[in-house]
Each structure stands twice: as structure tokens, then as C-alpha cells.
Amino acid sequence: MTIRWRVAEPSGAPALLSIIDASGASAYAGALPYDAGEGRYAASLPSGTLAPGSYLVRVAVGDRQAARRLVAVQ
């Protein structure tokens, strides 16, 4: 699975990834590779990281964040 994000205004803060399952529990949380500059970034997670189901994927950099829905299938 590849997570892609864009930073329009660098904040110097780390990029944090959260994946939350349908029950609201954290399925994954961690820092993403990010050089604190403006631009487009991508990071890969192992394909077996998530069980099949519906998730909310959130990327946060400083006080800005973006979230998208993800459906994992087997």
C-alpha cells in the first residue's frame, strides 16, 4: 500500500500517519519520511499491514491534516 501526500506550506513538524478502523481503534500509527519542505511525498506500508475492512487514513503535518477513506480487501 502506498500513501501519497502533498505539503503546500512547510511547518518543520514531522509528518504523522494514522490509520483508524471502523470501530475507532488505531490500526497503525507512525511517522512518515518527510524532509520538512514543500512538495509531494510517498511512503509504502507492507501489503499485509491491514486486515480486510474499512479505515480512515489521516496524514498530519503540524496543524494541517488530510483524511481519506480506505477499504482494504484480501
pTM of the full structure: 0.81
Instruction: Supply the pLDDT for residue 37.
Output: 80
Q: What letters, b where the CB count within 10 A reaches 16 and e where it falls short, cover 3-13?
A: bebebeeeeee
Q: What letters, b where the CB count within 10 A reaches 16 and e where it falls short, cover 14-34?
A: ebbbbbbbeeeeebeeeebeb
- Mind listing the pLDDT tens digit of every residue in the chain (74 residues)? 888 888 888 777 888 999 999 999 999 999 888 777 888 888 888 767 789 999 999 999 888 889 999 998 87
